[in-house]
Structure 1
Amino acid sequence: MANPRATATIAGHPLHPMLVPFPIAAFVGALVCDLIGTGDPFWFQASEYLLVTGVVMALLAAVMGFTDFLGEPQIRALPLAWVHFLGNLVLVLIEAVNWYRRYSSGAADSTGLVLSILAVLLMLVTGWLGWEMVYRRRVAIADEAASH
């Protein structure tokens, strides 16, 4: 049986795994800024920028992942894919709320730190599931041998 294939690709390369490092870096960076800068306006603003960047890039990655999810029945058949999809949806909602709270209030508080920690912990789980799909279920792994 052929491997489950990605349908959102450029020259046969899946787009979703190319995009996911950006929101990962942004969300982890936001948490680091939260941990460093309790009360410092620079770190608050840096975290705010990282959160909005992460949300935008996560939505772009989500469009590509959802395209793969809808376009490949073998992916939809994996319970793991559903948990990955729904977990990431919750993750992006947490970070969008986290950003909006900061943007609308203009001040740091402990809730922002808690949301950042929660999001990064959830991201560890959904990331693990994503790699599980790639390495164990061979999702988006080319069936043919690479030619050089």
Structure 2
Amino acid sequence: MGLRNPDSTATIGGHPIHPMLIPFPIVFFLSTLFTDVVFWATGNPAWATAGVWLLGAGILTALAAAIAGVVDFMGDTRIRALNDAWQHALGNVIAVLIALFNWYWRYQYGADAVLPLGLILSLVIAAILGFTAWKGGDLVYKHRVAVEDDPRA
């Protein structure tokens, strides 16, 4: 038998949990950016309120995805040896820390917190997520992390 692919250790029925969870924080954080732009265009404070809730949901779901990601990261030494894994993890930690500050700032100052700082932070988070998503894709498609081994091998 040939070399095995790096394993995902956080699984349900053999299916990796981390890739099942990551779409949620991505959508919540990008939706926050959308609400910021609409708030900027309309001035309607309901969009600022929606942004606070979306940020909160993004942070909570990011923490769930991070738990599964850390279990995978710690579960196979070959994953920890990959620079892409470190860049993916560190970038996501930075994005969530920025999101935490963004949420706190908005919670503290309401709609006044959205422009310009909240919008800028949302743009930064979106850019970081673009980078970390790229690195996550590299982990799967280049390094075959959590890709099922070919039973014929």
Q: Could you list the runs of 5+ residues in structure 2 that have no partner in the other structure?
A: none
Identity over the aligned pairs, expressed in percent? 47
| 2:114 equivalent to 1:79 | no
1-structure distance, mates of 2:107, 2:150: 48
| Separation of aligned partners in 1, 2:47 and 2:19 | 29
Instruction: Output the aligned Cα RMSD.
Output: 1.2
Q: TM-score, normalised by structure 1?
A: 0.95
Length, aligned pairs only: 146
The 5 A counterparts of 1:121-132 are: 121-132=127-138
Correspondences of 1:95-134 after superposition (within 5 Å): 95-107=99-111, 108-134=114-140
Q: What TM-score do the two structures reach when normalised by structure 2?
A: 0.92
**Which residue matches 2:55?**
51
Counterpart position of 2:14: 12
Which segments of 5 or more consecutive residues in structure 1 lack a partner in the other structure? none
In structure 1, C-alpha distance between the alignment counterparts of 2:110 and 2:45, rounded to whole Å: 10
One-letter code of the match for 1:65? G
Q: Deviations over 1:63-102 (max 9, x none)?
A: 0000000111110010110011101000000111101100
Consecutive aligned runs of 4 or more in structure 1 exceeding 2 Å deviation: none
Structure with the larger helix share: 2
Q: Deviation at 1:144?
A: 4.1
